[in-house]
Structures are given as structure tokens and as C-alpha cells.
Homo-oligomer: A and B are copies of this chain.
Amino acid sequence: MLDHVELLGFAAAFLTTIAFIPQVVQVWKSKSTDGLSLTTYLIFVTGVFLWFLYGLNIGSLSMIIANFITVILALIIIYFIIKSKK
């Protein structure tokens, strides 16, 4: 069974991962990325990818899965930002 601290980490990982779903939905529906900072998402996706590599290194499945999903969501947002700037 998970102890309280690991449960906290799991809840944290779950929230910081699903957090970007409403942003993806909003960008997808509105096709508008006004106000979204491309620099923020580029730095963020790089950082999250490093968290993913960190998870691989320490063998943490929850970190691997959570950060993999966040990378995908952030890449979708980046795609729309770059597309809308053209």
C-alpha cells in the first residue's frame, strides 16, 4: 500500500498533469493562442522532458507516465501557438 507521502506525490503528479487538459481544449476549440507565452511553453516542455528522464533514471513509473503525458499536452499547445503565429 502507498504511504501518505507517496499518496501526496501521486495526487500532485495527477493534478500537475491533468492541469493542461483544459488549456489544450480551450486552444483547440478557440484556435486562439493569444496571451499564451511560447517561451514559457518551450522552457516548460524542456523541463518536463528532463523530469521524464529523471523518472527513467530513478525508475519511478508515476514520474515517467505523468511527465510523458504533460510533454504531449505541452507539445500540442506549442504546435497551436507556432501555427497561430504564422
Residues of chain A touching chain B, judged by Cβ–Cβ distance below 8 Å, are 5, 8-9, 11-23, 25-27, 30, 32-37, 39-41, 43-44, 46-48, 50-51, 53-54, 57-58
Contacts and interface: CB of A to CB of B under 8 A. Distances in A.
6 contacts: A8-B53, A9-B54, A16-B51, A22-B40, A23-B40, A35-B35
Contact of A47 (B5, B19, B23, B34): B19
A63 to B, nearest CB: 10
Contacts of A34: 32, 34-35
Given A8-B54, A11-B47, A22-B37, 18 more contacts: A5-B54, A5-B57, A11-B50, A12-B48, A12-B51, A12-B54, A15-B43, A15-B44, A15-B50, A16-B48, A19-B43, A20-B40, A20-B44, A21-B40, A23-B36, A23-B37, A23-B40, A35-B36
